[in-house]
Amino acid sequence: MVTETTTRPATRGRRPALAFLRELIFVVVGALIVSSLLRAFVGQMFIIPSASMQNTLLEGDRVVVEKVIAFHRGDVVVFTDPANWLPDEPDGPEGPLDHVLEFVGVPTVGTGHLIKRVIGMPGDTVVCCDDSGRVTVNGVALDETAYLYTSSSGVPVAPSDFGFTVVVPRDRIFVMGDHRDLSADSRCHLTDLSTQGRGQTAFVPISDVVGPAFAIAAPFNRAKRLHVPATFTNVPDAPAPPPESGEIKLEGAGCG
């Protein structure tokens, strides 16, 4: 009597692998969907690529930006490049983690975005500087010692190396970096020519603002909440309705 033996394909080892692969794909796709929803409606993380906001923010910091709340004077905000500002901003180093984060929607600020501190809101008069070398907003001097860059030897950076007076136009803001010597901010565009008029691209459209940065998420040894410096609570509201176009008066050649 001949017994016929049937050999079945070895599928037992393959099935767990396929099940794991399906589960992995499900988890990754789900994470991307959740990440997209969070970025669209709640917040987004950005990587700081330059030193323009030292020492508040350092190169490589990951900041969380809220999209669902308003921002105010003194807030640090992320905004899309309003008028080709980015060529003036140095690019920070990128590693493998940065590329992975960008792939899942966590871009560097340099990828079409910038991050600065809001100094003037629509209608505000921003002046640099008073007799004591301080920036004033609506006639009130700012004590910027809490956030302006200070060197390792304890020497603070000057609020600006040239004087200016601006009145911020409607639906725009005036922004400056905390490391004024390394920040190509609103001050550095007060002489730019554009179809809007000379210097008008110095004022960032509010519609271009992604939102205020409310926390440093990484590295973990720097994780903390970001708060509006107390000095801004003393600034009064703008004395008059904002003009349609920004008003600019320069003392000096501007950014070198």
- Give me 17's structure tokens: 């692998």
Q: Would you call 78 helix, strand, or coil by DSSP?
A: strand
CB count in 10 Å sphere of residue 242: 20
What is the spatial distance between Cα 28 and Cα 136, in angstroms, rounded to a whole number? Answer: 50
- Do 206 and 53 touch, CB atoms closer than 8 A? no
C-alpha separations of 239 from 55, 139, 214 in Å: 32, 10, 29
- In DSSP terms, 173 is beta-bridged to 204
What is the spatial distance between Cα 158 and Cα 149, in angstroms, rounded to a whole number? Answer: 9
- Do 113 and 107 touch, CB atoms closer than 8 A? yes
- Identify the active-site residue in 50, 67, 116, 224: 116
249 part of the active site: no
50 part of the active site: no
- Identify the active-site residue in 36, 50, 52, 186: 52
Catalytic residues, which ones?
Answer: 52, 116
